[in-house]
Amino acid sequence: MRGETHTHSLTRESKTVTHAAKTRKGYYLFPSTILEGANLSFQLKMNRSAKKANSNIVLALDLPSDQPHSLLSQSIKMLETVHPYICAVKINHHLVLPLGLFNGIQKILSFTQDLELPTIMDCKINDIGNTNRIIAEYYYKAGFDAVIANPFVGWEEGLQPVFEVAKQMRRGVILLIYMSHKAAEEGYGQTIQNPKTSQLTPQYVTFAEKALSWKADGAVVGATYPEKIREVHEILGEKVPIYSPGVGVQGGDVETAIKAGTRYLIVGRTITISENPTETAKHIRDAAKRCVK
């Protein structure tokens, strides 16, 4: 069993070269899976991973904060047991703050890369453009496949630099459209006057439209608001997949969310603090599988 002492510290780049064979001409020949994996867009990676695992569950690797010294080994242990039932891993500040990005989180990312699981950093980027670009660059350089960002800051000098760096590095950007918590209505649900058309519109509808025009790779809509999922899905169709957190502990329901149009379910505590995370992950995966057409 891998633990605190495991030596998975290779970066994405050095690992790729480790797997490569050098020809006489000096070119590297990569096994096709590695080459394809490195070049696939985030959306394709997710698609492929979901098919392979026969699962649409994104594990929110949120562990309790009472034993910070063993978070790394707890994370690896969790991934070792639940990975057959998930298609991706989402990491939050629960781990980045205590473990640090390059010496701690990167070890987890190296492990998820070995498992061929795409990773999402839930940093909810929400600052001025220059800062946003630097945040995204750090996470992508550490090895994350996608970041979550907040469309409230807008495009110019807001999220534009994030989308630019994502394009350069072939990574993904997922936008918050309607969050899962009780007060989501106060921000995402307020009625605004569209500055261009002067029409009154719900905030989240304009965010869904931005997700399309900015070519986002995903849209977060809480599983706790199936009617919002349905409405957003009508706007996005299959172009921008919906990711829904809020299943289980927050009150959202697997079947209702999927039937309303969710593509990926983000599940944290229901799995991570359950008595048997593997069984729980399998149970949720199977429940989700039954609803997917």
User: What residues act catalytically?
Assistant: 124
Considering the rule CB under 6 A, would residue 226 count as an interface residue with ligand FNU?
no
* Euclidean distance between CA atoms 89 and 292, whole angstroms: 20
Helix, strand or coil, per DSSP, at residue 267 = strand
As beta bridge partners, residue 22 has 28
Q: Shortest Cβ distance from residue 270 to ligand FNU (Å)?
A: 6
Q: Among residues 12 and 220, whose Cβ is nearest to ligand FNU?
A: 220
Q: Among residues 95 and 165, whose Cβ is nearest to ligand FNU?
A: 95
Cβ atoms 106, 11 nearer than 8 A: yes
Q: Shortest Cβ distance from residue 87 to ligand FNU (Å)?
A: 15
Considering the rule CB under 6 A, would residue 241 count as an interface residue with ligand FNU?
no
**Ramachandran angles phi, psi of 290, nearest 5°:** -65, -25
Q: Among residues 12 and 264, whose Cβ is nearest to ligand FNU?
A: 264
Cβ atoms 42, 118 nearer than 8 A: yes
Q: Among residues 74 and 180, whose Cβ is nearest to ligand FNU?
A: 180
Q: Shortest Cβ distance from residue 265 to ligand FNU (Å)?
A: 9
Cβ atoms 260, 229 nearer than 8 A: yes
Considering the rule CB under 6 A, would residue 281 count as an interface residue with ligand FNU?
no
Considering the rule CB under 6 A, would residue 179 count as an interface residue with ligand FNU?
yes
C-alpha distances in Å from residue 159, one per residue of 68, 77, 81, 112, 205: 33, 35, 36, 27, 18
- For ligand FNU, the binding residue among 159, 176, 219, 265 (CB under 6 A) is 176
In the shown chain, the binding pattern of residues 52 to 71 toward ligand FNU, with x for contact by CB under 6 A and - for none, equals --------x-x---------
Considering the rule CB under 6 A, would residue 217 count as an interface residue with ligand FNU?
no
Helix, strand or coil, per DSSP, at residue 260 = helix
- What lies within 8 Å, CB to CB, of 28 at 6+ separation is 17, 20, 21, 22
Q: Shortest Cβ distance from residue 242 to ligand FNU (Å)?
A: 12
- For ligand FNU, the binding residue among 45, 86, 122, 226 (CB under 6 A) is 122
Size of the site for ligand FNU (CB under 6 A): 19
Judged by the rule CB under 6 A, the positions of this chain that interact with ligand FNU are: 60, 62, 92, 122, 176, 179-180, 220, 222, 245-246, 248-250, 266-270
